[in-house]
């Protein structure tokens, strides 16, 4: 199956900017952005981010408020703070042997950086990779990671897989099956997440947020400081 998948990828690989580098910092930026945001939204923001902060040292030296401003619109703003904190650790001490010791870096993101930047024989298993392996019953080699991600994103879809164009269909025990929809994330519109985002956007623009509950949540996450009732941006 690995050979069939590799041949398919040669013809169908998505052209994504983070696939043109082995720079660990650039790959970490892409992986953090992609954690809970669609690829199409990430691409232009990734390019812009690296244009502003092209190295881990430049991000480490950046003002935290500027980092948050640049992240606005990508959602889950805590990821920006963790990325900034991680950059400061790496700039000061270098890349640790255990990447999960960096702020906000879990097992999957660590595995992705180890594979795509450092060339280690470890397969990062995101939702798409796990789906393909579960349905085929096959454990793929680490050098097929990008192939698996593309297959899961474009062919081996969550609900109605496109088995008719899948390069693995002939050998797949799940061929022809459809699946129940997964539990959807609660709507953003009208949610507390939206209130937090609105409050942060207002504060970063120099305004005064009047949603005390949202401001308190932002303060708990380290995105703002509240002193004597005055809301300040992090240093």
Could you identify the residue written with the tokens 């900017």? 17
Which residues neighbour 200 within 8 Å (Cβ) at sequence distance 6 or greater?
A: 68, 72, 77, 209, 218, 223, 224
Write down the catalytic residue from 31, 133, 170, 180.
31
Tally the residues of the chain. Answer: 235
Task: Reply yes or no on whether 3 is catalytic.
Answer: no
Dist CA 76 CA 71 (whole Å)? 9
Helix 2-12 vs helix 145-154: crossing angle, to nearest 10 = 70
Q: Element (H or E) spanning 225, and its range?
A: strand 225-227
Query: Active-site residue numbers?
Result: 31
């Amino acid at each position: 199956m690995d050979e069939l998948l590799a041949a398919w990828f040669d013809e169908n690989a998505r052209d994504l900017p983070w696939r043109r580098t082995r720079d660990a910092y650039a790959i970490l930026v892409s992986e953090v952005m992609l954690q809970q945001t669609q690829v199409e939204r990430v691409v232009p923001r990734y390019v812009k981010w690296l244009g502003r902060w092209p190295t881990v040292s430049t991000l480490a030296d950046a003002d935290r408020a500027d980092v948050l401003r640049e992240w606005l619109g990508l959602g889950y703003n805590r990821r920006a703070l963790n990325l900034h904190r991680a950059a400061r650790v790496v700039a000061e001490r270098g890349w640790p042997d255990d990447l999960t010791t960096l702020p906000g870096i879990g097992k999957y993101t660590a595995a992705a950086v180890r594979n795509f930047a450092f060339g280690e024989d470890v397969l990062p298993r995101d939702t798409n990779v796990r789906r393909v392996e579960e349905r085929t019953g096959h454990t793929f080699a680490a050098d097929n990671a990008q192939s698996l991600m593309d297959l899961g994103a474009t062919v081996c879809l969550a609900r109605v897989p496109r088995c008719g164009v899948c390069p693995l269909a002939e050998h797949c025990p799940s061929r022809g099956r459809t699946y129940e929809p997964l539990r959807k994330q609660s709507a953003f519109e009208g949610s507390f997440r939206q209130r937090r985002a609105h409050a942060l956007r207002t504060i970063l623009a120099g305004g005064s947020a009047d949603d005390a509950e949202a401001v308190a949540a932002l303060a708990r996450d380290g995105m703002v400081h509240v002193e004597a009732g005055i809301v300040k941006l992090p240093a």
